[in-house]
Amino acid sequence: MNRFSAILGLLAIAALSALIGARAQVIDWVPFEPAPSEFPREAFRTIVPQSCGGTAARANPPGQDPGVRAGAASAGGFLPGLSANELAIANTAAFWYSQPWTLTGQVGGLGPRYATNGCFECHAYPAPGGSSPIPNTEVALANLNGATNTVPSFITSNGPTRIPYQISTGSILKLYTVKGMTGAEGCTLAQPDFPALLTNNDLSYHIPVPLFGLGLVEATPSANFIAAQTTLPGGVSWTLASLGITSGRFNHSVDGISTLGWKGGVSSIKGFSDLALSVDLGVSSVTYPRKDDEVASCIFNPVPDDFGPRLTRLSPNSASVSADYSSQSDLYSAFIKYLAPPAAVTSYISSVVGAVTTASIANGRARFISDGCVACHTQDQTTGANVAIASPTYKSYTYTPWSDYALHNMGTGLRDGLSFGAAGPQDFRTSALWGTGQRYFFLHDGRTQDLNAVIQAHKSTGSEASTTVDNFNADSTGNQQDILNFLRSL
Ligand code: HEC
Ligand code: HEC
């Protein structure tokens, strides 16, 4: 049931969270904020939990988050230079990625518990493969085809798509059941008791991580991640140690460093896709052949629901025969593997701060580096010599995710109480920042839409990022503004 412990074989989560008193630390859902343009500049201080570490008074007033960058999506296309066969598979995969799962039929096996009826409902913005859209698709799916679920209070129309975890067990809880759905007659399975779980402070939330560029991340050897973490940019006055940042802490799977998920607990796109089928949609697969809730009166499809190679060719037939005999999970994995990273822009117009110039973005990047943000948000990573993409371009190819993909203690303020492999209840894998310009929600639980709030949330007791927040706050308002402008250019 738990997407990571299934792979890592971790059974001590409940004991661990009880031990460290995780339940008391759950962060309450804060009401959704107004659009950045209406957002009072100082208001984020009332939203970010400023826990006991105390945040030093700011030397300078903060800049303003330029807000979600308008215009066409800068992500969603495939890597340039794919072969004809790769493109045929990628396009077929993109089609099936956007097809909803149903109780039975060609893409059949939804439930009996589900959060949504497809990956595309959560990984949606600014293009298929992205993160939470607005409005939140999870709201309407409570009543999918007549289902009679109640939308839990932590799922709101203007809030992020979220997956709830039960802290005391480490399990993912699916929001809904198929009870009441046309074709699910006889199923009386109840939803989890969310009001009671909320009363007991036993829930934590994670939002979708965008999927763009993951083929390159997957093609990066452990040794390259390790080397990149300690290769500092030229001219900086800090070291990892002087900033209080611990290096060499990566999450691991059987094959080396693992990078996927907020805690970095899974190493492959395919592994994560099979997990997502099971924990988000209730769909069983060759990797996870059982239903999560084996209530006979609620199962309508022969298991495993998703398997390949198929016995008959998928219809509609595509330009790729191999794609037509693949499982949906194989197709999703191919779709994700071939997605290009989000493209950064060199200037843009913001409805909040007006024209953002190339010079401002360049200065923001320089201050992001000199303030030490880059100590975790490592600019470049490099793929290995053997890459599962035909074009030689992607061998030893340098890309720019702005992450070391390592684990860091982010303090009591960001603690989610969950443990996955090497990641403890306050540890998170550094977020990749590519695509920040076109994201609505930030941080693991999607608690804010405001980049100032994101940065202040990096500082609390125990956080390895606190010194960099002090550096940011001590920077001039103009430099802070340039850093925010730079982040929204990504
Ligand atoms: C209900 C919303 C939801 C649905 C539906 C969903 N995801 Fe996700 N996805 C998430 C969340 C939340 C995370 C972060 C999970 C975590 O770390 O706890 C995530 C993370 C991922 C990641 C890791 C990305 C990274 O870089 O860390 C992959 C890969 C992924 N999902 C693939 C899929 C696929 C494939 C599907 C469909 C089979 C899918 N997801 C359906 C919410 C969703
Ligand atoms: C000690 C490592 C570390 C340092 C230093 C650091 N970050 Fe982060 N950053 C993280 C981690 C880990 C997360 C994810 C935390 C979470 O979601 O709870 C994150 C999240 C973010 C996000 C949101 C990304 C998302 O996917 O939601 C932004 C934006 C960001 N950081 C910017 C900055 C800036 C700007 C600085 C410098 C002032 C900085 N970071 C310094 C580790 C770091």
Which residues are bridge partners to 420 per DSSP? Answer: 423
Whole-prediction pTM value? 0.90
Counting ligands in written order, the one closest to the CA of 430 is: 2
Name the domain count of the chain: 1
Distance 279 CA to ligand 1 centre (A): 9
Q: How would residue 15 be classed by pLDDT, with cut points 50, 70 and 90?
A: very low
Q: State both tokens at 382.
A: 């490099």
Q: Is 67 in the pocket of ligand 1 (CB under 6 A)?
A: no
119: Cβ below 6 Å to ligand 1?
yes
Ligand 2 contact via 238 beta carbon (within 6 Å): no
**CA distance from start to end of the chain:** 35
How confident is the model over 359-384, as a mean pLDDT? 98
Non-local CB neighbours of 472 within 8 Å, separated by 6+ positions: 371, 373, 455, 480, 483
465 found inside a domain: yes
404 within domain boundaries: yes
Domain of 254, in residue numbers: 28-73+210-265+342-487
Q: Is 490 in the pocket of ligand 2 (CB under 6 A)?
A: no
Q: Looking at the domain assignment, is residue 159 inside a domain?
A: no
The predicted model gives 82-106 an average pLDDT of: 97
User: 258 CA distance to ligand 2 centroid (A)?
Assistant: 19
Q: Is residue 123 part of a domain?
A: no
Q: How confident is the model at residue 461 (pLDDT cuts 50, 70, 90)?
A: very high
Q: Measured in angstroms, how far is the CA atom of residue 105 from the centroid of ligand 1? A: 24
Whether 117 maps to a domain, the answer reads no
pLDDT band at 56 (very low <50, low <70, confident <90, very high): low
In a domain, 324, yes or no: no
Ligand 1 mutation pick, 2, 8, 122, 329, max ligand atoms within 8 A of CB: 122
User: Which residues lie closer than 8 Å to 322 by C-beta, 6 or more apart?
Assistant: 89
Closest CA to 440 of 193, 232, 160: 160
pLDDT score for 22:
33
Identify whether the C-beta of residue 425 lies closer than 8 Å to the C-beta of residue 20: yes
User: What are the angstrom distances between the C-alpha of 175 and each of 112, 116, 231, 417?
Assistant: 11, 8, 43, 20
In a domain, 414, yes or no: yes
Is 360 a member of any domain?
Answer: yes
Residue whose entry in the numeric block shows the structure tokens 């990149």 = 228
